[in-house]
């Protein structure tokens, strides 16, 4: 059997970097995508790297087509791109809502649109997006972020309905707080008490893209810690 090819978007840091390493160690051929070249340079040389901003709707289509031509048809897409902002509903601005929606929802849609035709061509594929607990359960103080992640949750379930007949599984994982360096600097220690290490969530993602998770599609898997 040929080596499965996985595109990991947002692979330059945090959960994306941990996921790229975990899938690489599991034997997949990983294509790491991030707008930070410095972050991608931290990955092993065996991982193919692409510097690109997948939140730009014009980028994912040509990027994935080139990856398909140069590396091979993608079997797996893991999208870890995300943006976060604190603030209650009455303080949300048009700019913050638009930015969070573009990053948390838009990137997921544009990347899915880019990989799905290639997966349909081979009759199989797995897609995993990163949702969040506030996108599943209403949480005070995260209004714009929660709404953008709730939209992502609904997108994942819609994609499952539309793509599952073509052999493509679409799932999401929903962390609460990930113990990334950025979050450790942002949140007070008491809020980080239950934070989950990126590697632990990456292991869940690795399971979801594996054949062992073949019956799982349309799921939003909690990784709350």
Q: Which residues are catalytic?
A: 145
Enumerate the β-bridge partners of residue 34: 51
Q: Running DSSP on this structure, what letter comes out for residue 106?
A: I
Collapse the DSSP code of 10 into the 3-class scheme (helix H, G, I; strand E, B; otherwise coil) and give the result. Answer: coil
Which letter, b or e, does each residue of 140-154 get, where b requires 16 or more Cβ atoms within 10 Å of its Cβ? eebbbbbbbbbbbbe
Cα distances from 87 to residues 84, 123, 151, 188, in angstroms, run 10, 43, 18, 16
DSSP 8-state secondary structure symbol assigned to residue 75: S
């Amino acid at each position: 059997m040929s080596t499965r090819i996985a595109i990991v978007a947002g692979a330059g840091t945090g959960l994306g970097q941990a996921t790229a390493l975990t899938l690489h160690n599991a034997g997949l051929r990983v294509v790491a995508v991030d707008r930070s070249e410095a972050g991608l340079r931290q990955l092993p040389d065996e991982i193919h790297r692409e510097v690109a901003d997948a939140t730009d709707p014009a980028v994912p289509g040509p990027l994935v087509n080139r990856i398909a031509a140069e590396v091979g048809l993608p079997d797996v897409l893991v999208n870890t791109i995300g943006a976060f902002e604190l603030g209650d509903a009455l303080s949300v601005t048009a700019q913050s809502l638009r930015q969070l929606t573009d990053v948390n929802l838009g990137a997921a849609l544009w990347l899915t649109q880019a990989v799905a035709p290639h997966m349909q061509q081979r009759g199989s594929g797995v897609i995993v997006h990163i949702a969040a607990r506030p996108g599943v359960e209403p949480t005070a103080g995260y209004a714009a972020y929660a709404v953008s992640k709730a939209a992502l949750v609904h997108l994942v379930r819609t994609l499952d309905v539309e793509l599952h007949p073509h052999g493509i599984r679409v799932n999401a994982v929903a962390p609460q707080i990930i113990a990334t360096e950025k979050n450790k600097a942002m949140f007070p220690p008491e809020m980080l008490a239950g934070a989950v290490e990126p590697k632990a969530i990456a292991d869940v993602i690795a399971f979801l893209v594996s054949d062992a998770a073949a019956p799982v599609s349309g799921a939003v898997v909690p990784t709350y810690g």
